[in-house]
Amino acid sequence: MSSFFVLVALKGLAFELKTEKGTYYALHLGGTYFRILRVHLGGERSYLDVQDVERHPIPSHLMNSTSEVLFNFLAFSLERFIEKEGDGSSSQGVKRELAFTFSFPVKHSSISSGVLIKWTKGFEISEMVGRDIAECLQVALNTRGLDMHVAALVNDTVGALSLGYYHDPDTVVAVVFGTGSNACYLERTDAIIKSQGLLTTSGSMVVNMEWGNFWSSHLPRTSYDIDLDAESSNSNDMGFEKMIAGMYLGDIVRRVILRMSQESDIFGPSSSLLSEPYVLRTNLVSAMHEDDTPELQEVARILKDLGVSEVPLKVRKLVVKVCDVVTRRAGRLAAAGIAGILKKIGRDGSGGITSGRSRSETQMQRRTVVAVEGGLYMNYTMFREYMEEALVEILGEEVSQYVVVKAMEDGSSIGSALLVASSQ
Ligand code: ADP
Ligand code: MG
């Protein structure tokens, strides 16, 4: 895994959560959904009240519209969210502080500003690349006359790490498996080459790995992966993400079934629907994979919707097997990524691979919490099980006892609001 860390995009963020009070908001732009939420923090560390959460699919036309259309839509959604509030949610005359959780690669210039490096996950608004994302949102909020301040621009993994850390200070890694995939972890500042010369007050920093873009010739790439990549809007990019994330697993399965239907007659007459990219979504893959009816009725129903009907039970079983192979590979690669991080920070029982890390500090295995969130992990039980099983396999039973994988529903958004609170 060593080449892994040569490829990562390092993004330092001083990381310290203090005890805060007040009401804070988060807007999260994911790959499939956007979420808006309001949290209230009491003075005590344990008091965190998530008061309102809204979750909506991102209208698909926005993904290749213009920055004006996208941000106007987000500002409009925030306006409606705030309108629902009764009196007392925010003190009169006090600006509402907002975290913008943004799950695309950004080059930060401060906690509340950063420019878009590139789009991923099917978004294509080219004029936004190189522009300050937080500023775009602030301008749209001002235009609508909303009394809201974009106080932090937060990567979703960093948000999830913040919530994990808030609940449990042993949390040092956060991973998202949703439409896309990414990870971040807490690193010693002196082990980050890119941060040399930066003035930091804290001994550790969060590294946003942007691991979706990891690539290695050792990855088990098939012709299906190669074709999927070539036909995507971001070819030659995000190779790891395209093997493990929710946006793509369904399409890998579709490509395998399509080839089987073209090269044999087991699916009967060929269906033109099956040739349609992304028509088979990953939630349908999990529904087929986890179909426990003896006749695999759910598989039959989903295949029928894809224009393939009257498929014999034997072939339906084969389709389940394809779902299994694709998801098992994804789960195991995901686990290898997590194990790679644990190895880097000396939490895999080996003592770490960072030069200069003192042996005495790393030899003793410490409790290590990995915060995980995202729709794929939360909803696809078999993906989760394969990932966790492989993590134990790689780390070994003994070290695994110290590694806790914790699900963090909405962790990225709630944690981003916490970061705003701690930056006030
Ligand atoms: P976002 O990526 O927009 O932040 P989520 O983290 O909720 O949103 O992830 C949504 C993605 O999770 C979906 O696009 C899909 O790929 C995956 N997903 C959601 N539900 C399921 C499911 N039941 N089975 C498998 N994958 C799912
Ligand atoms: Mg997300």
- The strand ranges marked E within 6-143 are 22-29, 33-41, 48-57, 96-102, 106-110, 113-116
Measured CA to CA, the distance from residue 116 to residue 104 in angstroms comes to 7
Per-residue pLDDT, 405: 98
> Residues 58-69: what's their mean pLDDT?
95
- The length of the chain in residues reads 424
Measured CA to CA, the distance from residue 417 to residue 41 in angstroms comes to 10
> Residues 78-84: what's their mean pLDDT?
94
**Is the minimum distance from the CB of 288 to ligand 1 under 6 angstroms?**
no
**Is the minimum distance from the CB of 350 to ligand 1 under 6 angstroms?**
no
Distance 399 CA to ligand 2 centre (A): 29
> Residues 29-38: what's their mean pLDDT?
96
Tens of pLDDT along 119-166? Answer: 999 999 999 999 999 999 999 999 999 999 999 999 999 999 999 999
Per-residue pLDDT, 311: 94
Tens of pLDDT along 263-318? Answer: 999 998 888 899 999 999 999 999 999 999 999 999 999 999 999 998 999 999 99
Per-residue pLDDT, 93: 66
| Token pair recorded at residue 237 | 């990019």
With the most atoms of ligand 1 within 8 angstroms of its CB, the residue from 53, 182, 283 to mutate is: 283
Distance 140 CA to ligand 1 centre (A): 28
Ligand nearest to the CA of residue 159, numbered in listed order: 2
| Token pair recorded at residue 322 | 């394809």
Run of H or E including 193? none
Query: Could you tell me the residue ranges of all domains in the chain?
Result: 9-168+410-422
> Residues 5-28: what's their mean pLDDT?
57
Coil, strand or helix at 176: strand
Coil, strand or helix at 147: coil
Distance 413 CA to ligand 2 centre (A): 9
- Supply the pTM of this predicted model: 0.92
Domain 9-168+410-422 grouped into CATH 3.30.420.40: yes
**Is the minimum distance from the CB of 12 to ligand 1 under 6 angstroms?**
no
Distance 243 CA to ligand 1 centre (A): 15
Per-residue pLDDT, 7: 24
pLDDT band at 359 (very low <50, low <70, confident <90, very high): very low
Least confident of 36-45, 109-118, 192-201, 228-237: 192-201
Amino acid identity at 150:
V
Amino acid identity at 56:
H
**Is the minimum distance from the CB of 282 to ligand 1 under 6 angstroms?**
yes
Is the torsion defined by CA of 321, 323, 324, 325 positive or negative?
positive
Q: Which residue's CA is the nearest one to ligand 1's atom 24?
A: 283
Distance 37 CA to ligand 2 centre (A): 14
Coil, strand or helix at 96: strand
